[in-house]
Amino acid sequence: MLVTWRYHKRKSLIQWFDPRAWIIFYLCFMVSTLFFWDLRFQSFFFVISLIVLFTSGVTWKEIRRAFIFIIGFIFIYAILTFLTGRGGVEAYKQEHIIRSLSAQFTIFGWRPTLIISVERSFFAVSQLARVFSIAVMTILIPYTLNPSLYGVTFRGLGFPDKIAYAMDLTMRFIPTFGRDFQLTMDAQRARGYELDKIRGGLIEQVRKLGPIIVPVTIHAIIGSEDIIDAMDLRAFGIGPRTWLEVLNYRRRDRIIIAFGLVLLATSLVLLFLGYGGFWVPDILIRLVGG
Amino acid sequence: MNKKLLGVALALVAILVVFLLLTWLLGSVFNIDRFKTGENPVLRFVFVIVGLLIALGVYYATKDSKAWEVGTRQVVWMAIGAALYAIFSWLFNGTVFVVPSVSQVALRPAIAIPMFFGYAFGPIVGFFTGAVGNMFGDALTGFGLYPQWSIANGLIGFIAGMPLLFSDKKKSLDSVLIAGGVLTALGILIYFLNPGVVNQLVYPFDQPVSVFAGISILVGFILVVIVRFGFGKNIDIAAAVTWGMLGNILGIGFAALSDIWINGYSPSVAIVGEFLPAAGPNLIFAAILVPLLVVAYAAVQKQSGR
């Protein structure tokens, strides 16, 4: 049995567009976001992602788990950047130190020191905005893309029939295998198999993962025979494929594609003109007396 | 020259043209340092051309082989492989399962999936499993997309599928093993020549590569040799693990070396800081998990007669 993503029809900005148009826009958005470290440019993308999130029609209840996980992940990432100052080393050359905290103890002659500087803090904020925009846009896709349109969407994006169909099946299988994984894990636990605390040396640890990975994989392969039979009965791959649903670009779809492309082109031009690098507001530096 | 071969040749020429255009545009016109070809620009493209010619040659020599067929079964296997790889990489990325990492070696057992699918169902299925699975796995975690790592994972599955091209699996094994051994020795040598390089895979990026992460590729290689000769009678296990090893070394090597241009790493950082800590542990996981999968699959095949 297939499990599906939590898609349903919603009043939603994303679902108002053709899925192909949205995927193209998403790709342009993501690539453009990656070019910038400057918070002024980042905030533009940040606002777009917030607008998309709040008009997506996805309720908090539906998205809660995925969202909390991603937000937690982003915060840990940003805090680590802030604490260690790594990751931004190439972005700025000098630091304006607000406060420097040294630990009272040493570990093997190394004294843990926390340096809080304007650049570090601001870098963490910029990183937070950047990762957040991309993450929000990405997690909304499975909630807002109609599963019956996966195949025709990828076909419409220019993939050959068979590859488009394989991508369609991949997206459909992911939640199913997630469920199978959970079931297998529960079954192994019921047999007294300890998965929560995997102990032992590296090789022992890997060997212990066998009892979950092998059954899930083999079960998936055995289950595939039914799908193969069903597809063969419908003469899959004999001639050029026709799709049940037809997608047509409407005016709004052309507009969103054009917007995405303009966004990408503008970002590229700004990048080549040398904009978009890491930026710290002067006022903050003056505040600490720099 | 038949139509299909012409198509493949044209696709390879197109890849070359895109490569040349990108380098010329970004390096010479926009003056971005990373894309400048530096000294010996011709030599570098000779390598690209040689690589493409090898791809064409392999295809031409084996174009009648069953390994290149893409039918209903392959389409479904591709999808299953990619979905499994995505799910496993998502779960073991330290999200749902917090698996402890032993001295900088993160547990990433999912790598066995593209190797096994490549070996069992052919290079095309392997490539799709690695490339698309990695893409969806990263998207699930919220990382965004890293095309060079997707291609690298695809290559792992692709090379693991190579034995299907040989009618005699045994013959090629020893040369593959020797090639893997030479590359492993080279990696270890570079590690000892460049101690103290920062590990690029462990966040925050400030710890030097630990000795274990550095020599893990040797541990992995020894495990592969043990599997190769210990299970010498079951040629399927030996072939899957040996070719998977070569795929892992070449695939991860491709991604690490491409980061010299993409992330601006120096060659020693790319090899010691990125290639060794990624390829070494992968090899250990593969040597243990791939045989388990091959044995289980053989039992299924026997039962269902397919």
Residues B56 and B113 both lie in one domain: no
| One-letter amino acid of B212 | F
Residues B131 and B15 both lie in one domain: no
Q: Is the pLDDT at B39 greater than 50, yes or no?
A: no
A2 inside domain:
no
The total domain count for chain B is: 2
Are the beta carbons of A125 and A42 closer than 8 angstroms? no
Residue A231: its pLDDT value, please? 92
A7 inside domain:
no
Structure tokens at A119: 């650049």
Residues B47 and B75 both lie in one domain: no
A6 inside domain:
no
Residues B89 and B34 both lie in one domain: no
Residues B81 and B211 both lie in one domain: yes
Phi then psi for residue B145, to 5 deg, are -115, 140
Q: Region A26-44: what's the mean pLDDT?
A: 85
Q: Region B30-45: what's the mean pLDDT?
A: 52
Cβ distance of B133 and A170 shorter than 8 Å: yes
Q: What is the DSSP secondary structure assignment for residue B165, as one 8-state letter?
A: G
Are the beta carbons of B287 and B241 closer than 8 angstroms? yes
Q: Is B48 exposed, middle or buried (0-12, 13-18, 19+ CB in 10 A)?
A: middle
Are the beta carbons of A227 and B80 closer than 8 angstroms? no
Residues B53 and B97 both lie in one domain: no
Spatial distance between the Cα atoms of B62 and B85, rounded to a whole number of angstroms:
28
Q: Where residue A65 falls among pLDDT bands split at 50, 70, 90?
A: confident
The total domain count for chain A is: 1
Residue B206: its pLDDT value, please? 58
Q: Region A92-113: what's the mean pLDDT?
A: 63
Q: Is A274 exposed, middle or buried (0-12, 13-18, 19+ CB in 10 A)?
A: exposed
Q: Which domain holds residue A140?
A: 13-287
Q: Is the pLDDT at B12 greater than 80, yes or no?
A: no
Which of B:51-110 have CB within 8 Å of A?
A: 70-73, 75-80, 82-84, 86-88, 91, 95, 97, 99-100, 102, 105, 107, 109
Cβ distance of A167 and B132 shorter than 8 Å: yes
pLDDT in tens, B15-27: 777 777 776 666 6
Last-in-domain residue among B9, B43, B64: B64
Q: Is the pLDDT at A13 greater than 60, yes or no?
A: yes
Cα dihedral A99/A105/A108/A113 (nearest 10): -10
Residues B44 and B75 both lie in one domain: no
Residue A20: its pLDDT value, please? 92
Higher pLDDT: A98 or A182? It is: A182
Range among A81-85, B3-7, B115-119, B273-277 with highest mean pLDDT value: B115-119
- In A, which residues are within 8 Å of B300 by CB distance? 218, 221-222
Nearest to B139 by CA among A228, A281, A140, A104: A140
Q: Dmax of chain B from CA atoms?
A: 62
User: How far does Cα A181 stand from its chain's mean position?
Assistant: 21
A144 inside domain:
yes
Secondary structure string (H, E, C) spanning A91-135 = CCCCCCEEEEEECCCCECCECCEEEEEHHHHHHHHHHHHHHHHHH
Most A-contacting residue of B28, B70, B80, B145 (CB-CB within 10 A), to test interface: B80
pLDDT in tens, A214-258: 999 999 999 898 999 999 998 888 888 888 888 888 999 999 999
Q: Is the pLDDT at A168 greater than 80, yes or no?
A: yes
Residues B157 and B262 both lie in one domain: yes
Which residue matches tokens 């992911």?
A: A174
Residue B99: its pLDDT value, please? 47
Cβ distance of B95 and A69 shorter than 8 Å: yes
Q: Is the pLDDT at B208 greater than 90, yes or no?
A: no
User: How far does Cα B156 stand from its chain's mean position?
Assistant: 3
Residue B51: its pLDDT value, please? 65
Give the H or E element holding residue B283: helix B276-304
Nearest to A167 by CA among B72, B79, B129: B79
b/e A50-84 (16+ beta carbons within 10 angstroms → b) = eebbeebbbeeeebeebbebbeebbeebbebbbeb
Spatial distance between the Cα atoms of B287 and B123, rounded to a whole number of angstroms:
19
Q: Which domain holds residue B10?
A: 1-64
Residues B203 and B91 both lie in one domain: yes
Note whether B306 contacts A: Cβ–Cβ < 8 A. Answer: yes
pLDDT in tens, B223-252: 888 888 887 778 888 888 999 999 999 888
Of A77, A163, A218, the CB nearest to B296: A218
A143 inside domain:
yes
What average pLDDT does chain A have?
82
Q: Where residue B80 falls among pLDDT bands split at 50, 70, 90?
A: very high
pTM of the model: 0.83
Are the beta carbons of B131 and B149 closer than 8 angstroms? no
Of B83, B95, B99, the CB nearest to A173: B83
Which residues, including other chains, have CB under 8 Å from residue A9's CB and lie 6 or more apart? A15
Residues B167 and B284 both lie in one domain: yes
Measured CA to CA in angstroms, residue A113 lies from A103, A201, B198, B205 at distances of: 6, 33, 20, 16
Residues B42 and B152 both lie in one domain: no
Note whether A224 contacts B: Cβ–Cβ < 8 A. Answer: yes
With a cut of 0.90, is the ipTM above it?
no
Of A165, A198, A214, the CB nearest to B75: A165
Nearest CA in chain A to B25: A272
Note whether A34 contacts B: Cβ–Cβ < 8 A. Answer: yes
Higher pLDDT: A43 or B265? It is: A43
Residue B98: its pLDDT value, please? 47
Q: To the nearest whole percent, how much of chain B has pLDDT over 70? A: 76
Note whether A166 contacts B: Cβ–Cβ < 8 A. Answer: yes
Residues B36 and B179 both lie in one domain: no
CA of B162 vs chain A CAs: smallest distance (Å): 21
- In B, which residues are within 8 Å of A83 by CB distance? 204
Q: Could you give the angle at the alpha carbon of A199 between the alpha carbons of A194 and A201, nearest 5°? A: 140
Nearest to B300 by CA among A223, A230, A2, A233: A223
Residue B60: its pLDDT value, please? 74
Q: What is the DSSP secondary structure assignment for residue B197, as one 8-state letter?
A: P
Cβ distance of B300 and A218 shorter than 8 Å: yes
Question: What's the first-to-final CA gap in chain B, in angstroms?
Answer: 35
Q: Region A37-66: what's the mean pLDDT?
A: 86
Residue A197: its pLDDT value, please? 64
